[in-house]
């Protein structure tokens, strides 16, 4: 099983002044907080309940914990504050930023992450949610975010960086096909530079919630960018595949060569980044390597086909 969580602080670890600001924003003292798993931010991710029964989902991170996580929290606040009501996305109730701590307060969505390995009814529900999402955010209702081409330009250069400085344990097939993989990633980058849909760009099981009625909600939006409507579906297919499910059939309707090129771009990024330190965010590099190792045989078959 691929671990998709890091090490978090909890509600009780927040400075008292931050807890007081959150309680003022949600309208009462918090009497219960339950930390949630999933994701790699070192900050809080707590479902909280106030004395009078109000509920909220609170995420908070500080520059002292990880400066990159603070940047991502600010980006997520910018995106989610502008989401249309019909999008299957939790409503942002409030955002607090004092320069050191950034806090996002969302509605608390009753639900759980999809089961992994993925099961058929939850795959269908996730596909349906992504279609609903694309319809709600095309054209993008959010300005001031990068295009997918801009956002992924460095990421999709992973194979080029590996070619310049190969990993010591590089798969022999990868070593023999680095030129093909670099070319595929370049095609993928050109493909994601099109479109006017707001894409999540980090779709995986721990960024989705399955409601009690079986519908799916898309959470955690720090990488929101403008690109093609199919981009998030390619990422869903990759995640289903990583957890042992049938990734190919989720790509029906997407040009096969384009989908393969985008998969190549993401895989090279995960493989190359996995060898670099990640101070303050443990386990993320292990996740990236495991993800790349799981996708590579699929990518190899798709390129050969």
CATH of the domain at 98: 3.30.200.20
* Cα distances (Å, whole numbers) of residue 122 to 172, 193, 209, 215, 295: 36, 29, 10, 8, 21
Residues 125 and 99 in one domain: no
Q: Kindly list the averaged pLDDT for each block of 10 residues, start to end, along the chain of length 305.
A: 62 97 97 83 92 97 94 98 97 97 97 96 98 98 98 98 94 96 98 98 96 98 98 98 93 97 97 86 85 95 90
Among the candidates 73, 106, 139, a domain finishes at: 106
Among the candidates 106, 137, 171, a domain finishes at: 106
* Within a domain: 112: no
Please tell me the predicted confidence (pLDDT) of residue 42: 86
Residues 134 and 276 in one domain: yes
Please tell me the predicted confidence (pLDDT) of residue 236: 98
Work out the angle at residue 54's Cα, subtended by the Cα atoms of residues 50 and 58, and round it to the nearest 5 degrees: 75
Distance CA 292, CA 238 (A): 10
Residues 170 and 289 in one domain: yes
Residues 144 and 276 in one domain: yes
Residues 146 and 290 in one domain: yes
Distance CA 204, CA 209 (A): 10
Distance CA 174, CA 15 (A): 48
Residue 268, both tokens: 């090279």
Please tell me the predicted confidence (pLDDT) of residue 279: 72
Please tell me the predicted confidence (pLDDT) of residue 39: 67
**Residue 295 belongs to domain with CATH number:** 3.90.1200.10
Q: Which residues form the domain of 58?
A: 11-106
DSSP, collapsed to helix, strand or coil, labels residue 109 as: coil
Residues 194 and 134 in one domain: yes
Residues 228 and 143 in one domain: yes
Residues 167 and 73 in one domain: no
199 and 227 Cβ atoms separated by less than 8 Å: yes
Of residues 264, 202, 185, 173, the one with CA closest to residue 41: 202
Residues 178 and 102 in one domain: no
* Within a domain: 113: no
Please tell me the predicted confidence (pLDDT) of residue 5: 47
pTM of the model: 0.93
Distance CA 115, CA 118 (A): 5
Domain count, the chain: 2
199 and 213 Cβ atoms separated by less than 8 Å: no
């Amino acid at each position: 099983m691929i671990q998709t969580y890091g090490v978090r602080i909890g509600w009780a670890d927040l400075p008292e002044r931050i807890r007081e600001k959150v309680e003022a924003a949600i309208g009462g003292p918090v009497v219960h907080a339950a930390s949630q798993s999933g994701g790699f931010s070192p900050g809080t991710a707590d479902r909280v309940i106030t004395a009078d029964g109000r509920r909220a989902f609170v995420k908070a991170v500080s520059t002292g914990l990880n400066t990159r996580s603070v940047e991502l929290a600010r980006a997520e606040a910018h995106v989610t504050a502008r989401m249309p009501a019909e999008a299957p996305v939790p409503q942002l109730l409030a955002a607090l930023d004092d320069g050191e701590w950034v806090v996002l307060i969302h509605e608390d969505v009753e639900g759980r992450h999809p089961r992994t390995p993925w099961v058929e009814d939850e795959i269908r529900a996730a596909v349906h949610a992504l279609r609903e999402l694309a319809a709600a955010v095309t054209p993008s209702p959010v300005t001031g975010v990068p295009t997918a081409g801009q956002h992924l330009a460095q990421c999709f250069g992973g194979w080029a960086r590996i070619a310049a400085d190969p990993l010591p344990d590089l798969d022999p097939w990868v070593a023999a096909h680095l030129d093909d993989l670099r070319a595929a990633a370049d095609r993928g980058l050109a493909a994601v530079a099109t479109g006017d849909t707001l894409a999540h760009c980090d779709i995986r099981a721990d960024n989705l919630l399955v409601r009690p009625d079986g519908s799916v909600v898309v959470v955690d939006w720090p990488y929101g960018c403008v690109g093609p409507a199919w981009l998030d579906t390619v990422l869903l297919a990759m995640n289903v595949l990583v957890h042992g499910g049938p990734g190919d059939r989720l790509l029906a309707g997407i040009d096969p060569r384009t989908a393969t090129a985008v998969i190549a771009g993401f895989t090279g990024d995960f493989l190359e980044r996995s060898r670099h330190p990640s101070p303050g965010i443990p386990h993320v590099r292990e996740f990236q390597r495991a993800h790349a190792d799981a996708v590579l045989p699929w990518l190899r078959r798709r390129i050969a086909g």
